[in-house]
Structure formats: structure tokens, C-alpha cells
Amino acid sequence: MRVVIAEDLTLLRDGLTRLLEAFDFEVVAAVDNGPALLPALLRERPDVAIIDVRLPPTHTDEGLKAAIAARTAIPGLPVLVLSQHVESLYARELLTDSGGGVGYLLKERVSDVEQFVQAVQQVAAGGTALDPEVVTQLLGRRERLAGLTPREQDVLKHIAEGRSNAAIAGRLFITEKVVSKYINNIFTKLGLPPSDDDNRRVLAVLRYLGG
């Protein structure tokens, strides 16, 4: 699996490279600034890009701008954002792109190697991988989507965090059959009919976070 990394801190960039290569990823480019990122993404067309939001020269939203521009040129390009903090505006702009294959993790989660690698694989496969803290803060700063019951909101929050039906059932102490029922209710209320072309779990999360 081919990966592009954008991170200005040398130790973290090198650490990510070694970690991913240990799990049989191929790091095809590792850049340390915003202007170098977009050309690398367009040139390499990786299976997944791991990008810091704040990159030189401005240390504001260089990474995010490059990611959004790359996904415009290459629709659905999988992007996993790493950030020191939950930056809601940046997160919403990327996560509400209906192309799927997006993630947002806090850098502290990189210390959990298994969780991080799973997140990279999940995003590369077109899914979502959202840090629980990111989900909590995003949902706490907007009105809940009308029509969903509190339990349905709980289920959708767990979907946003990348959990399977079995994992959700274990967290909420209900059966997988009940989880499936809640998910079908969510799809119906969000106007997401069955489709061979769309991943309704991803679309439901994006619809929810985007309002």
C-alpha cells in the first residue's frame, strides 16, 4: 500500500515512516511543508495520504488546503489528517466531502500503534476513522440532526469512530440484530436508500457531521 506523509516535525515524520514500513506500507513520499505536498499527492496518487493540518510556511491550514485540492483533482483520494488539537472548521471542511476515505486523528493516538495502523487501513479502504474526541467535540458544537433518537445518535457516533456492528453491540450492550435495526432506521431518516455505488455508513457519518 503506497503512502504519502506530510509532517514538519522530523522525528515524527521519520517515526511514521519506519512504523508504516514495518507493517509493509510503502512510503513513496515524505514532505515537510505545504507547497511540496500537493505536487507529491498529484504525482504519486497514493493509496492513502497522512497529513498534518498545520504545515510550513504559514503553520495554519497548509496541509488541509493541499488535501482538499488533491481530492478535487483526484476524487476520493484517501486522506488521514493528524492534528495536535481538534480544529472543528478544518475537520468539517474535509469530512463533509462525500467522497469518503477520510479520517481525523489526534497525534497522541499515534502512540497506539495497532489503532493507528487500523485507521490508516480503514481510510485507504474508503472508510472513515475519527478520533473519539474529534467526534465528541464536533457533535457538541452543533445541533443534533433532527429525527434521530438518542440511541440512534449513539450508534452513529460509534460508526463515525469506525466500529463494526459487533463492536457497537458490545459497547452498547445490545445484540448485533438490534444494532442493524438502528442502522437501518438511521439510513431511512437520513434519506440514504440502498445503493451498489455508495457506502451508506460513510455517507451517514458525513451527513451527520456536516449537518
Task: Tell me whether the omega of the peptide bond preceding residue 57 falls within 30 degrees of 0, making it cis.
Answer: yes
Q: Domain 2-131 belongs to what topology?
A: Rossmann fold (3.40.50)
Q: Determine the pLDDT at residue 141.
A: 45
Q: What 8-state DSSP symbol labels residue 12?
A: H
Ranges 85-89, 129-133, 134-138, most confident: 129-133
**Residue 193 burial by CB count (10 A; 0-12/13-18/19+): exposed, middle or buried?**
exposed
Which one is the CATH code of 143-210: 3.30.565.10, 1.10.10.10, 1.10.150.110, 1.10.287.3510?
Answer: 1.10.10.10
User: What are 95-122's pLDDT values in tens digits?
Assistant: 666 667 888 888 877 778 888 999 999 9
Where are the domains positioned within the chain?
2-131, 143-210
Residue 13 sits at the vertex; the CA angle it makes with 9 and 16, to the nearest 5 degrees, is 140
Angle subtended at Cα 57 by Cα 78 and Cα 84, rounded to the nearest 5 degrees:
55
| Burial (0-12, 13-18, 19+ Cβ within 10 Å), 50 | buried
Q: Under a CB-based contact definition with an 8 Å cutoff, are residues 152 and 170 in contact?
A: no
pLDDT greater than 80 at residue 206: no
For the question of whether the overall pTM of this predicted structure is more than 0.85, the answer is no
Tell which phi-psi region holds residue 20, choosing left (phi > 0), alpha (psi between -120 and 50) or beta.
alpha
Please, are residues 64 and 38 in contact by the beta-carbon 8 Å criterion? no
Q: Quick one: pLDDT band at residue 204, thresholds 50, 70, 90?
A: confident
DSSP 8-state assignment for residue 107: G
The set of residues, in sequence order, having a beta carbon less than 8 Å from that of 100 and lying 6+ positions away, is: 76, 126, 127, 128, 199, 202, 203, 206
Element (H, E) at 165: helix 165-172
